[in-house]
Structure 1
Amino acid sequence: MAIKSAIEPSIPNGYKNSKVVAFASALLILDALLVALIIAYVPYTKIDWDAYMSQVSGFLEGERGYEKLKGDTGPLVYPAGFLYTYSAIQFLTGGEVYPAQVLFGILYIINLGIIFFIYIKTNVLPWWALCLLCLSKRVHSIFVLRLFNDCLAMTMLHAAMASLLYQRWHLALIIFSGAVSIKMNVLLYAPPLLLLMLKGMSISGVLSALSCAALLQILLGLPFLLSHPIGYISRAFNLGRVFIHFWSVNFKFIPEVIFVSKGFASTLLVVHLVLLAVFAHYKWCKHEGGLVHFLRSRFSYEKLRNTVSRSFSLRQFFICDSASKILTKEHIATSMFVGNFIGIVCARSLHYQFYSWFFYSLPFLLWKTSFPTPLRLILFGGVEFCWNIYPSNFYSSCLLFCIHLAILWGLWTAPCEYPYVETNPPQTKVD
């Protein structure tokens, strides 16, 4: 293991941060102008908007049976939060496309602003690389030319992450639950989020935050749970959907007969769970001695705290333990982004709008690897290239899968950041 040099230019951190914030603000303004031009001059692409409005209209007319809420693309398959948010959008826009595009353009800028906040606070990227977050043709299209609910869900997810950076756990869990209520893909972030909660909270705190998230789901779904509970749960939280092979961006090189098989889905699920366990054990909990040791010591500590009388020395131990649970912003963002990316790699089907699920984490993930910067940029460009090929084909999906594996390998071989804030941090960094 090599030791990185701690020698850096003697530039005050406040000055550097202000320059980065100014650069990010300029990017926001320029991207806002670009979004305005796209809305004004690029034709809208009709895909799901009419279906969304049909499903919302049925809901507003009093229908509470999920099996009867349908559009021209099929039955409603999203949780209740989707209906509430798109009902509000229909009220604000009158169901018209152009004002909805303006609304989603504003949403795009809000989301980008939250992302810039996360990147600036974690300080993983060089300042100039922030411009990569504004360069995706596909993501601009997803927000302002397609009006997908993925945009709302991911904006809320990123807002939850911003709360996590300051360890506002209960607030973050409520926002996270709201995002899940709009689209289920947000649950890909759930495993690393739970691990972070166990690191940064007491067990009772974890249960309290999870209860808040669950309560929100119950409250949002209450009108449907009271009238048609089975229909709501089976359709809104259906994890066994089989997507059409034609629309797959990532596994188009897999023969359709294998693609739609239960065996392929089961294999991907097993690989997903194994990768999560391996990363949790060897990467996210490396400094705690591995996942098993961390969980054992975590629950042993809780048992000790609840059963042993608190002598002075024991109180001192608890105070020290509590202080060590302050997680670094970089560790929080790394765990969340990598956990989601593992889910992306193992997803049976990625449709074009699913690019918004992980695009904004790509620069972060690439700079967490030890790859040289030219290779990082090549991989970033390769991912964007594959997602802009329509329809996807054998070669584009195969290339995308290989790039995903390369990024995952880079994350696996990269050094682990120290997860806890220290009063006296070490002077050297292990590479």
Structure 2
Amino acid sequence: MALRSPPKSKAIQKPGSTFQKLLKNPQVPFALALLFADAILVGLIIAYVPYTKIDWDAYMSQVTGFLEGERDYGNLKGDTGPLVYPAGFLYIYSALQHVTRGQVYPAQILFGLLYIVNLAIVLSIYVKTSVVPWWALSLLALSKRVHSIFVLRLFNDCFATTFLHAALFFLLKQKWHLGLIIFSAAVSVKMNVLLYAPALLILMLQAMDVFGVISALAGAALVQILLGLPFLLTHPVAYLSKAFNLGRVFIHFWSVNFKFVPEPTFISREFAVALLVAHLGLLTVFAHYRWCRHEGGLPSLLRLKIAELSSFSMTRFYCTSSTTKLLRTEYIATTMFVGNFIGIVCARSLHYQFYSWYFYSLPYLLWKTPFPTLLRLTLFVVVELCWNVYPSNVYSSLLLLVVHLVVLGGLWTASLGNPYADDPNSRLTAKKKQP
């Protein structure tokens, strides 16, 4: 008679096993500790560092006009000039005025909370991608300028940046439609978020079929329409021309980059066109040789989508399943951050608050380069120093451009991987849409 083998008992987890796992991958506990420490630092800054009056009063004046019933963007003005931000800005700062009654100190507390929320989202992105070593996460909390932008200046860039990072968080989870909605909300606060748009479009084309791309873009467009509706129904030309003005000329004095360019050249149309050509050229080169390399280049990807579009019909759109492919989280974050960084390199003017547009991606980008760690840290420190020179000068702005170009060159030479997840079941079929 054969003897039965005794049932296998579940492995008993030793008390020290969890601790050992944390030692092997201490990113999560370190991120939590960093978040706690930075929260204390933010509280100390609010309590002891004097607030710097820049744009808050102007924001409150613009919001007051809106709350009093003004719907013509040409008439919404503040101490710093006319309103130049989309409607999402008005709703957010109207809420802030209601809660704080226009007072700075309670607004600083709210912005301190916003800073912590944003940092938590960024840390979750870093932990999920595992590109940066755990100790280098501390770089995200070491910027004097970024702390100032959030809790001592109260700029709307803070909300745009936080929404953008929230959108990226959901994109990493392959939630494309939700990510696009939050991305559109970020654009409604400040247009600089559109610097991410070309890279985001490439990712959408790679991850979704043309039907999914169309529906996601439609959702993003609907957000803009709904938020701008009070102005689009009354003074559409004024709203579109003011809130989405792509031809603004910034003041040379406030530029942190290109300060070494003589002011007549800086404000010239020729300089603006040259930077635009460089921007589009770099995006095209990166898209063709880097982001779309797996598909055989940018034209191949576009041809595939054009073929899908040619067979598009509303009947098929409603009655057929749409498909998506899983992209690697590291690839999504890298493409988004690099696409934005190209825009930063080619931006005609970067004001001090604009540092928040790309600071949180800087450690990630540096660790994507093949540079040694010492050089990465040196470049990080130099960028931070350049952003803390006030007013910027010929040397600090030229040095900043050189560092930007070095980082961009490192990103170009970085190793490439398959953008798609290795899981053989990575091709997902979405639920059938109901007619």
Alignment of 1:9-158 (within 5 A): 15=22, 19-158=26-165
**Partners in 2 of 1:187 and 1:145 — Cα distance?**
26
Matched residue, 2:8: none
Greater relative contact order, per chain length (Cα 8 Å cut-off, separation 6+): 1
**Partners in 2 of 1:355 and 1:196 — Cα distance?**
25
- 1:303–1:69 CA distance, 2 compared to 1 (3 A): closer
SS of the aligned residue for 1:31 comes to helix
Alignment of 1:20-419 (within 5 A): 20-300=27-307, 325-419=325-419
Report the AA paired with residue 262 of structure 1.
R
Shift of 1:297: 2.9
Shift of 1:298: 3.7
Report the AA paired with residue 181 of structure 1.
S
Shift of 1:380: 0.3
- 1:84–1:12 CA distance, 2 compared to 1 (3 A): same
Per-residue CA shift, 1:257-293, capped at 9, x if unaligned? 1000000000000000000000000111111111111
Shift of 1:417: 2.5
**Partners in 2 of 1:128 and 1:277 — Cα distance?**
35
Shift of 1:301: 5.3
**Partners in 1 of 2:69 and 2:309 — Cα distance?**
48
Per-residue CA shift, 1:360-392, capped at 9, x if unaligned? 000000000000000000000000000000000
**Partners in 2 of 1:353 and 1:417 — Cα distance?**
34
Shift of 1:33: 0.3
Shift of 1:296: 1.6
Shift of 1:88: 0.6
Per-residue CA shift, 1:190-220, capped at 9, x if unaligned? 0000110111111111111111111111111
- 1:16–1:217 CA distance, 2 compared to 1 (3 A): farther
Structure 1 gap ranges (5+) = 1-10, 307-317, 426-431
Per-residue CA shift, 1:306-358, capped at 9, x if unaligned? 8xxxxxxxxxxx99x957x2100000000000000000000000000000000
Q: Percent identity?
A: 68
- 1:395–1:296 CA distance, 2 compared to 1 (3 A): same
Report the AA paired with residue 40 of structure 1.
A
Shift of 1:299: 3.4
Shift of 1:424: 6.2
Per-residue CA shift, 1:10-34, capped at 9, x if unaligned? x999646862111000000000000
SS of the aligned residue for 1:146 comes to coil
SS of the aligned residue for 2:189 comes to coil
Report the AA paired with residue 227 of structure 1.
T
Shift of 1:302: 6.0
**Partners in 2 of 1:135 and 1:351 — Cα distance?**
20
The alignment of Structure 1 onto Structure 2 pairs a total of residues equal to 404
- 1:265–1:13 CA distance, 2 compared to 1 (3 A): farther
**Partners in 1 of 2:24 and 2:38 — Cα distance?**
21
Shift of 1:304: 7.2
Shift of 1:92: 1.1
Per-residue CA shift, 1:62-116, capped at 9, x if unaligned? 0111111110000000000000000011111111000000000000000000000
Q: Which has the larger radius of gyration?
A: 2
Where in structure 1 do 4 or more consecutive aligned residues deviate above 4 Å?
11-18, 301-306
User: What TM-score, normalized by structure 2, do the two folds share?
Assistant: 0.89
**For the Cα contact (< 8 Å) 2:22–2:29, is it kept in 1?**
no
**For the Cα contact (< 8 Å) 2:210–2:308, is it kept in 1?**
no
**Partners in 1 of 2:36 and 2:170 — Cα distance?**
24
User: What TM-score, normalized by structure 1, do the two folds share?
Assistant: 0.90
RMSD: 2.2
